Homo-oligomer: A and B are copies of this chain.
């Protein structure tokens, strides 16, 4: 009966593996696997080799905890970037998003998660101690908390705030406000309220 449904066990295995990825159902998995079957063998081997290499050889930057090929990632190793400002983010996707803006020339600290008691993630499961050590070492003047504005993000922000307060470092968060191009009437009240409270000098907006 099982065989009847998938005429090939090899095919079924590959589909099962793909279907375990997040957001990929069995139909999509089958479509992807059939696509790969239509490619040259070498094309598929490039994919599998890249994945195998990644999980075998990946390491995490000893400074900022970002995914890296070496002990110190290229961002931390870059002497053109100031180590006086650290931007605390949840994961490497946030690093890439901020890098894309080309507005930030400090360094990062990748927590690798946020505090979430519901998911059993406590402060010791993410790289907060590493952050405290970095600040303790001296040289850091400002820490930007760039976590998402969820309950978990707020909790993590507050935990970090209490841990870093003794070191007299300046703690900031991302500006929240009406998105560029958005119409005021569609902005939610909290955001609009906050964007009035933290209004910016008009002159300062002329340079960006």
Complex Cα distance, B48 from A73, in Å, reads 27
In the complex, chain B residues whose CB is within 8 Å of the CB of A58 = 8, 10-11, 37
Residues B92 and A54 in contact, CB atoms below 8 Å apart: no
Chain A interface bracket (under 10, 10 to 19, 20 to 34, 35 or more): 35 or more
Residues A7 and B95 in contact, CB atoms below 8 Å apart: yes
Q: Which A residues from 141 to 161 make CB contacts under 8 A with B?
A: none
In the complex, chain B residues whose CB is within 8 Å of the CB of A9 = 69
Q: Which of B48, B67, B100 contacts A51 (CB 8 A)?
A: B48
Complex Cα distance, B11 from A66, in Å, reads 11
Q: Which A residues from 31 to 50 make CB contacts under 8 A with B?
A: 31-37, 41, 44-50
Complex Cα distance, B45 from A47, in Å, reads 12
Binds B, one of A22-30, A115-123, A163-171, A200-208: A22-30
Complex Cα distance, B37 from A54, in Å, reads 8
* Residues of chain A whose beta carbon lies under 8 Å from any beta carbon of chain B: 3-11, 13-14, 16-18, 20-24, 28, 30-37, 41, 44-58, 61, 66-69, 73-75, 78, 91-93, 95-96, 99-100
